[in-house]
Structure 1
């Protein structure tokens, strides 16, 4: 399963800018099912600059393959990519359920670069320990 985050204020629609997001809905999904695994919320920032908020937001997405948002600044994109999280910018507010269906289809059929890459990474992780045992690895 791959993990994907959605910048959302209502947990049902991608409707937030990454740097100003009130929270993220994080799902684990494969080609057959999607499951909400975490809600990440941030307290309202008084007058804090966006740049100061980015590290906490990026860290909150550790383990995610991607984050969907309405916008992300250049600094946020750079930090997300460095953390291994693919930012996906949407032009309009979009329902999370629709995106999950599209992503599950892409996991099954391929065709979206970052999904294909995340699926290959996941597939490799499933067999890594089996290969180590076959090679006689032990602690």
Structure 2
């Protein structure tokens, strides 16, 4: 595995624009075992229908599950640009703030393996995606279509 890039936020990561950027609240990157607000680290993967690449990770200090909203700010700031974040549990306030940023929070229990969750996303990408994933994929394909006209304009294309 290559050296992980240190980034201020997910939006700074260079990735395939069609890949789904998925963050996992995890102690070690192997399983989703952290509550969103008290997560000590997030691991970011670019997931496409046939590949998954670990792009970045970000560690945070140990936080208590005390309802203190300030501890959410650095996590929310780092996740700007992500499409999805998986966590063991998450409060209503954090859920609302993530959705406002365009990040889809998904709560999973039992400490599922990151690898298995990625495989599930890929299976959906190759078949019939759940609503939340279908929406993300649709938005990505529309952004690609919209940006090609901007690209032509930037190149001075006059048709």
Does residue 57 in structure 1 map to residue 45 in structure 2? no
Residue by residue over 1:4-62, the C-alpha shift from the partner in whole angstroms, topping out at 9 and shown as x without a partner, is: 10000011000000000001010001101000001011123489863111121111111
Match of 1:98 among 113, 116, 120: 116
Q: CA deviation at 1:87?
A: 0.7
Which has a greater percent of helix?
1
Q: CA deviation at 1:133?
A: 5.5
Q: Residue in 2 aligned with 1:70?
A: 88
RMSD: 2.0
| TM-score (norm: length of structure 1) | 0.89
Does residue 7 in structure 1 map to residue 28 in structure 2? no
CA contact (8 A) 1:20 1:50 kept: no
| TM-score (norm: length of structure 2) | 0.78
5+ residue gaps in structure 2?
1-18
Q: 2:147 aligns to what SS in structure 1? A: helix
Residue by residue over 1:86-138, the C-alpha shift from the partner in whole angstroms, topping out at 9 and shown as x without a partner, is: 1100121100000000001112213311111111111122222323456xx35
5+ residue gaps in structure 1?
none
Match of 2:60 among 20, 27, 42: 42
Structure 1 Cα separation of the partners of residues 65 and 47 of structure 2:
36
Instruction: Judge which range, 42-51 or 111-120, deviates more.
Output: 42-51
Which has a greater percent of strand?
1
Q: Residue in 2 aligned with 1:79?
A: 97
Structure 1 Cα separation of the partners of residues 129 and 31 of structure 2:
24
Alignment: residue pair count: 137
CA contact (8 A) 1:2 1:30 kept: yes
